Amino acid sequence: MSTPVVVSALREATAAVIFLHGLGDTGHGWAEMLTSIRVPYVKYICPHAPLMPVTYNMKMTMPSWFDICDRNADLREDEAGIKASAENVKGMIEQEVQNGIPSRRIILGGFSQGGALALYTSLTTQRKLAGVVALSCWLPLHKSFPVAAVGMANGNTPILQCHGEEDPLIPSIVGQRASQRLCSMVSPDILTFKTYPGLPHSSCDEELADVKRFIEKYLPRTD
């Protein structure tokens, strides 16, 4: 995996956000967006997905965390690819722990395919996280839960789920179903699901403001 884009903290970094982009994108776009809502003591890590042929996109090669086999992710899923990418993300978390940032001071997030991977990784890692941000996404391999989630470290970790009400690629009902499934596995009172009227498969200023408030709440200043 190539070197991620890092938005350095404005002063000593005491916390980190690892944010995973969507299909066909790179870490650069989200690095720019996160810079606009940066918190001074937080560093933002935006990795790039590897290039691979994507079945749903006529096997075109593009940045992708795992293969998308069908528009309806419940029908056919790249289980091996999802699990392999989740292990890579867990490696990123471990790297930050080695760098001196405890996992409880790390928020894992992502948009679309990246958000799906962030959710799956948070439910399967043994590292306790500060929070999870899942934008315009679904819950992959949900049929493997609660088996895969037994004894999970993040059953009480706050989750912010956001979705555009006019999303034509991943309809908001898909996000709602993911939220319902998550509520059967984690504490419902720590999960927030918010929709945005008129928003397609993208982000907006209101959503970014909500993400910033979530980061500030669950990665508070330590000095």
pLDDT tens per residue, range 164-182: 999 999 999 999 999 999 9
Averaged over 2-18, what is the pLDDT?
A: 95
Of 117-121, 159-163, 218-222, where does mean pLDDT reach its minimum?
218-222
| Average pLDDT, rounded, for the chain | 93
Catalytic annotation, pick one of 112, 122, 136, 179: 112
Note if 112 is an active site residue: yes
CATH topology of domain 5-218: Rossmann fold (3.40.50)
What single DSSP character describes residue 126? Answer: S
Higher confidence at residue 74 or residue 128?
128
Q: Where are the domains of the chain?
A: 5-218
Catalytic annotation, pick one of 48, 144, 201, 202: 201
pLDDT at 82: 96
Note if 48 is an active site residue: no
Please say if the pLDDT value at position 86 is more than 80. Answer: yes
Note if 70 is an active site residue: no
Give the tens place of pLDDT for each residue, 123-151. 999 999 999 999 999 999 988 876 555 56
Percent of the chain that is helix, strand, coil (3-state, to 5): 35, 20, 45
Catalytic annotation, pick one of 122, 167, 172, 203: 167
